[in-house]
Chain A
């Protein structure tokens, strides 16, 4: 194959450095595009395919590398900032194109995720990346997936060409607020980040119009645009983060907003020190909240609000919402509408679909719910089936929070148990706090159970 590499050892070193430098980008998705071509090789699988999972448990779908990590900027949160003492390397466009196709042909990857530090200038960097993409698409006739990170501040004409070559474009918003940006990345300005997002959106709309008139008009970024922000480096609340991501979805028609837990890489006075662990739980909760907004028809204001500006660490955001809104529960699964089913903790999109399909044919009882794939561990406290409630404590019990947070052991009721018995059985021998014990004793169910056992 053409495009010989510049010595094996060199290439391996580069791959090590530039792969390592790219690991802070959260996105890995290869979905949303159905590109295909007969004159070359490769195609994009609509649902995306993950090819393997790294030791950090994150999937590897694309060859995620930087074109270069020699940056002219000095953003405090970034490992590639120019003042940081880290080994520097850069691929040539030929090397990168060749490496991508060789990996692709062995089914290691779905395509390329190309990003870069800013070399010389935004335009120069974009040109370098576009050159690699041109080789891939035009020379090798490669139809696999390409995700290109747009360098803020580059010429809009370069964005247009990027959209014709890539399946997905993204611009990192980096930090959740303008003040944080000023503090940590003084060389990056909000307008410089938002304007390429605007360009991508406008170009995509224009392209959709063109394709209505001419079916042969070239596709512009068929898998849309995404963005990413760092969480935990600045004092921004989850409320601010979720509101921002909601407006990003709305205003720029983002396909995804990614969150990346800040991993200490520098010692700026305002940044968390290197001894602080990355806020992985917070990142996880933000993704759960993001899911609720995208697939469960929740609004950002419902998930967090002025009184609760941060997500609950104890329980997932859906449980948290349900606990704050006992007035909606318990839900009767045989009559509740689809939207309400989706709001029940333990019922997901798939099980809600199944419930709706199955209840057309017969009334469901509690045992049927398990067969639908409902996670009864959580759902038992929020549903009735044929009017029957099978939760081990009442849905308005003050203990529910502890149970859902798994501080109190969960226990499934069996047919022969008096109400409250499994809880007592499990709770025995545990060292419970006084307040929890007091709450336990206020339960009529519980004292009844105590006498029976």
Chain B
């Protein structure tokens, strides 16, 4: 049976709940955005139910405190087939009664763990690589183009750091943005075309000056630099533009 869910994390967990309830050992899961209506499997549309989702989350939490968060992180990748990896890992975890991520010899678990870490490390990179431009006294803006949709993982960090600023972080690839004010932050979607951010401010120049001065010319190592700051991220980095 192919379970089609509504592209939400709650929907996915509801699907897992339904699969366990039906005892279906051959189940596969697909999000409706990737399902074109044709499948060799019998299909069933999952009706998202927050209560079922909460029960699955509670069960996963019992296997390990980090488990729901890690599964969520991997799910954010929207990688093809990630749902089936999640289902396999959840099954392995419940079967062994342990944190599924401890079972790295299991191929599905390993692939899921690797995806989860890729998403996590890109979120971490965004904490490093967001570069704000000041628009007015207390208003800042930044552009990013991460491979994964990681805004949800970085909103808290920036909101807590700059609680009194108003700022927007635009993810131009996924066309979503974090909007933060002193009262909180939320994510909105962006229109197709967005005006470019202003360039050439005084402190941008100072930062580039410093960036050049701090490099030790007797130990230049551009390969190492490229490992840490891959070229794909440099487009929006003040010091590389």
Do these two chains really belong together in a complex?
yes
Residue in A23, A24, A36, A358 whose beta carbon sits within 8 Å of that of B102 in the complex: A358
Residues of A within 8 A of B217 (CB): 56
In the complex, B132 has a CB within 8 A of chain A: yes
Residue in A52, A64, A103, A106 whose beta carbon sits within 8 Å of that of B140 in the complex: A106
| Contact digits for B194-224, partner A, Cβ 8 Å, 1 yes 0 no | 0000000011111101111111111111111
**Are B133 and A106 neighbours in the complex by a CB distance under 8 Å?**
yes
In the complex, B104 has a CB within 8 A of chain A: yes
**Are A51 and B213 also in contact (CB < 8 A) when A15-B206, A59-B228 are?**
no
**Are A36 and B160 neighbours in the complex by a CB distance under 8 Å?**
yes
Residues of A within 8 A of B224 (CB): 53, 56-57
**Are A102 and B203 also in contact (CB < 8 A) when A20-B213, A41-B161 are?**
yes
Of B40-48, B51-59, B123-131, B183-191, which binds chain A? B123-131
**Are A358 and B104 neighbours in the complex by a CB distance under 8 Å?**
yes
A203 to chain B, nearest CB (A): 29
**Are A57 and B214 neighbours in the complex by a CB distance under 8 Å?**
no
Give the contact-size bracket for chain B. Answer: 35 or more
**What is the chain A residue whose CB lies nearest that of B234?**
A52
Residues of B within 8 A of A64 (CB): 214
In the complex, A22 has a CB within 8 A of chain B: yes
Residue in B158, B216, B225, B239 whose beta carbon sits within 8 Å of that of A23 in the complex: B216
Measured in the bound complex, the distance between the Cα atoms of B214 and A50 in whole Å is: 14
**Are B216 and A56 neighbours in the complex by a CB distance under 8 Å?**
yes
**Are B207 and A50 neighbours in the complex by a CB distance under 8 Å?**
no
Measured in the bound complex, the distance between the Cα atoms of B32 and A337 in whole Å is: 48
In the complex, A357 has a CB within 8 A of chain B: yes
In the complex, B179 has a CB within 8 A of chain A: no
**Are A12 and B163 also in contact (CB < 8 A) when A19-B213, A23-B215, A106-B132 are?**
no
In the complex, A386 has a CB within 8 A of chain B: no
**What is the chain B residue whose CB lies nearest that of A42?**
B161
**Are A106 and B127 also in contact (CB < 8 A) when A23-B215, A53-B224 are?**
no
Residues of A within 8 A of B203 (CB): 102-103, 106
**Are A52 and B165 neighbours in the complex by a CB distance under 8 Å?**
no
Residues of B within 8 A of A368 (CB): 105
A interface secondary structure, majority: mixed
In the complex, B76 has a CB within 8 A of chain A: no
Residue in B161, B207, B212 whose beta carbon sits within 8 Å of that of A43 in the complex: B161
**What is the chain A residue whose CB lies nearest that of B239?**
A52
**Are A108 and B207 neighbours in the complex by a CB distance under 8 Å?**
yes
**What is the chain B residue whose CB lies nearest that of A16?**
B213
Residues of A within 8 A of B238 (CB): 106, 108
**Are A41 and B162 also in contact (CB < 8 A) when A57-B221, A102-B203 are?**
yes
Residues of A within 8 A of B223 (CB): 57
Residues of A within 8 A of B158 (CB): 107
**Are A358 and B105 also in contact (CB < 8 A) when A52-B128, A57-B223, A58-B216 are?**
yes
**Are A361 and B132 neighbours in the complex by a CB distance under 8 Å?**
no
**Are B213 and A15 neighbours in the complex by a CB distance under 8 Å?**
yes
**Are A371 and B105 also in contact (CB < 8 A) when A106-B140, A280-B219 are?**
yes
- Within 102-119 of B, Cβ neighbours of A (below 8 Å) are at 102-105, 107, 110
- Within 333-392 of A, Cβ neighbours of B (below 8 Å) are at 354, 357-358, 360-362, 364, 368, 371-373
**Are B128 and A51 neighbours in the complex by a CB distance under 8 Å?**
yes
**Are A57 and B228 neighbours in the complex by a CB distance under 8 Å?**
yes
A325 to chain B, nearest CB (A): 29
**Are A106 and B207 neighbours in the complex by a CB distance under 8 Å?**
yes
4 tightest CB-CB pairs across the interface, nearest first? A57-B224, A57-B221, A19-B213, A357-B102
Q: Besides the contacts A23-B214, A103-B203, what 9 more A-B pairs have beta carbons closer than 8 Å?
A: A53-B225, A54-B211, A56-B221, A57-B222, A58-B216, A105-B134, A106-B238, A277-B218, A357-B99
A-side residues, CB < 8 A to B, are 8, 11-12, 15-17, 19-20, 22-24, 36, 38, 41-43, 45, 49-60, 63-65, 99, 102-103, 105-108, 261, 263, 277-278, 280, 354, 357-358, 360-362, 364, 368, 371-373
